[in-house]
A = this chain, B = another copy of it.
């Protein structure tokens, strides 16, 4: 039974890595679509989000089946419960990528990124992509250094998020109202995407250290 359980845990882990890979692909396409006003790429991201949702739901079913069949306790139980939470966060990361793509699509053929913020959003987008790739690596390897790296990159995203507001509320801002709305929403989505990755990192680290992490921290 123990061996079956270990195999099922590996299956859970592989599926988390698979979903995380799709989320990383999705944010890479979404931020490219956003920065380059590529509407057909934006539509791909929006369509592909259903697949992420479906895979997350399937993983939840697998986790619940494992709980029912294997009746794990102690650390094993927390690993399975963590997988349920990680899947929910990955699903939300996919939603953030979709929202960024939707912004690009709504404004097309206009550019969605306001002048004066192009380089900031390019930088935020690149950080989100890197964070998602590192998250996939973390889920595959459980390497604490990778979690640390994700936290550091998230600090940079938070700083850029504040920089967007400084820019928009500064005296030199020449954007129209629509630019202000887009910048506000886009910055929030980029920031939340990275937050979810940090939240997942903490849960993965727990599996190493035994420190249980509340659901949303």
Determine which of B56, B95, B168, B217 lies in contact with A214 in the assembled complex, contact meaning CB atoms within 8 Å. B56
Kindly report which residue of chain B lies nearest to residue A177, judged by CB atoms. Answer: B180
Chain A contact surface mostly = helix
A78 contacts the other chain (CB 8 A): yes
Asked if A216 meets B177 with Cβ closer than 8 Å, knowing A67-B67, A67-B77, A68-B77, the reply is: no
A4 at the interface (CB under 8 A from B): no
How many angstroms from the CA of A95 to the CA of B192 in the assembled complex?
Answer: 13
User: Distance (Å) between the CB of A87 and the closest chain B CB?
Assistant: 7
* Interface flag for A165 (CB, 8 Å): yes
Any B CB within 8 A of the CB of A128:
no
A60 close to chain B: CB less than 8 A? yes
Q: Does A208 contact B (CB under 8 A)?
A: no
Q: Which residue in B64, B71, B180, B185 is a CB contact (below 8 Å) of A188?
A: B185
Q: Which one, B56, B87, B214, contacts A57 given CB within 8 A?
A: B214
Determine the residue in chain B with the shortest Cβ distance to A68. B73
Contacts of A57 in B (CB 8 A): 214-215
Q: A142-178 toward B: CB 8 Å interface, digit per residue (1/0)?
A: 0000000000000000000000010011000101011
List residues of chain B with CB within 8 A of the CB of A184. 180-181, 184-185
Query: In chain A between 31 and 81, which residues have their CB closer than 8 angstroms to a CB of chain B?
Result: 53, 56-57, 60-61, 64, 67-68, 71, 73-74, 77-78, 81
Query: What are 6 A-B interface contacts by the 8 Å CB criterion?
Result: A57-B214, A67-B67, A84-B84, A84-B85, A88-B215, A169-B177
